[in-house]
Amino acid sequence: MFKHLRKWFVTCFFGRSRRRARLVSKDGRCNIEFGNVEAQSRLIFFVDIWTTVLDLKWRYKMTIFITAFLGSWFFFGLLWYVVAYIHKDLPEFHPPANHTPCVEHINGLTSAFLFSLETQVTIGYGFRCVTEQCGTAIFLLIFQSILGVIINSFMCGAILAKISRPKKRAKTITFSKNAVISKRGGKLCLLIRVANLRKSLLIGSHIYGKLLRTTITPEGETIILDQININFVVDAGNENLFFISPLTIYHVIDHTSPFFHMAAETLPQQDFELVVFLDGTVESTSATCQVRTSYVPEEVLWGYRFAPIVSKTNWIYILLGSLACLSPCNYFASLSLSHLVL
């Protein structure tokens, strides 16, 4: 029992410290923070207020949504109360019987708030309404109606845009946990499996990758995040994928590939991150979405291949197993990639 507790303790507290840092997480989030950002630079986010609101988390967005409506109702309620106070329409001024108020039946701050609410959400006035007595009240009515439409359009549009963002569609595209290195079609390849969990397709989808690593130029300059293009293909090409079943994409490892001189023993010690991108258009909304994931050296398995998971029975295709199903290739042993290619 103590042995298992010790193993759990070491894994939870010390194993995490040895975990390799990622620029892109497995679910596609970019792990980057901007430090030493001046206050003036932060104002740029308010210039592009629409994107800023869309990128907010739901709890902050709903807080802004509720605050915007309640704040505008209360603010205009105060203005209606001020109009009634200046025109001496309130009961505390004891207006004469023939007195015509700016707004009928505003007796205090509460009734002014209710009139503001009824005006902005257009639910009907009941027995509270604007009269012809005050031009200020008529102008305030027009101004609140216009501003109310703007607030409704912006906030409801932001909620709708948040719900319909193609980012949620990208959650139903999943990559295999590991990449594998094996032979395919007589060529040495780096293989990744990707699956679409919905029946609706991605139109015009294509896939590509970036290898991120630290390099030193001949001039002695150190590039922390040097990006190298990694071309991925399927048997039918890398454009317009027919994404109805899980696909195995592969990168051919030849003398131009950055994986060419790696070996099974040295692969885990390599310092790189392979980021894979899948771009496509959502069939139902025509919105463009991008799916991302990344692989560090520990997640690239040498000498394995993906096991078949699609079965055909009575003209019905059934998916069996999961994307993580692997089978070993004993041929590879510990040869380097350059020896296998040659």
- Are 328 and 184 in a shared domain? yes
- Are 284 and 312 in a shared domain? yes
Q: Are 340 and 261 in contact (CB under 8 A)?
A: no
DSSP 172: T
- Are 115 and 175 in a shared domain? no
Distances (CA, A) of 88 to 40, 72, 101, 110, 133: 46, 24, 8, 17, 12
Quick one: pLDDT at residue 200? 80
- For residue 235, the cross-strand partners are none
- Are 125 and 79 in a shared domain? yes
Does 33 reside within a domain? no
- Are 142 and 203 in a shared domain? no
Domain of residue 79: give its range: 58-163
Q: Look at residues 148, 163, 178 and tell me which one is the last residue of a structural domain.
A: 163
- Are 246 and 175 in a shared domain? yes
Does 15 reside within a domain? no
Quick one: pLDDT at residue 54? 86
- Are 117 and 217 in a shared domain? no
Q: Look at residues 121, 143, 163 and tell me which one is the last residue of a structural domain.
A: 163
Does 180 reside within a domain? yes
Does 311 reside within a domain? yes
Quick one: pLDDT at residue 11? 47
Query: Tell me: the pLDDT tens digits for 22-77?
Result: 888 888 888 877 766 665 566 777 778 888 888 888 899 999 999 999 999 999 99
For the domain that residue 258 is a member of, what is the CATH number? Answer: 2.60.40.1400
Domain count for the chain, please give it.
2
Does 47 reside within a domain? no
Quick one: pLDDT at residue 133? 84
Distances (CA, A) of 86 to 63, 89, 93, 109, 268: 34, 8, 10, 14, 78
Quick one: pLDDT at residue 17? 38
- Are 175 and 292 in a shared domain? yes
For the domain that residue 81 is a member of, what is the CATH number? Answer: 1.10.287.70
Q: Are 84 and 112 in contact (CB under 8 A)?
A: yes
Spatial CA neighbour of 203 closest among 236, 241, 167, 165: 241
Quick one: pLDDT at residue 187? 84
* Cα–Cα dist 278/210, whole Å: 12
Does 48 reside within a domain? no
Q: Look at residues 131, 163, 195 and tell me which one is the last residue of a structural domain.
A: 163
Does 126 reside within a domain? yes
Q: Are 144 and 116 in contact (CB under 8 A)?
A: yes
Quick one: pLDDT at residue 275? 94
> For residue 139, with 0-12 CB atoms within 10 Å meaning exposed, 13-18 middle and 19 or more buried, which class applies?
exposed
The structure tokens listed for 54 are 């869309």
- Are 124 and 177 in a shared domain? no
- Are 78 and 195 in a shared domain? no
Quick one: pLDDT at residue 67? 95
* Residue pLDDT tens, the chain, 342 long: 444 445 444 445 444 434 567 888 888 888 877 766 665 566 777 778 888 888 888 899 999 999 999 999 999 999 999 999 999 989 888 888 888 899 888 989 999 999 999 999 888 767 888 888 889 999 999 999 999 999 999 999 999 888 877 777 788 888 988 999 888 878 888 999 888 888 888 888 888 999 998 888 888 888 888 899 999 888 655 566 777 778 888 999 888 888 888 877 788 888 899 999 998 888 877 888 889 999 999 999 888 888 877 777 766 666 656 677 777 776 555 455 555 555
- Are 248 and 308 in a shared domain? yes
- Are 153 and 189 in a shared domain? no
Location of structure tokens 């109360």: 81
Does 21 reside within a domain? no
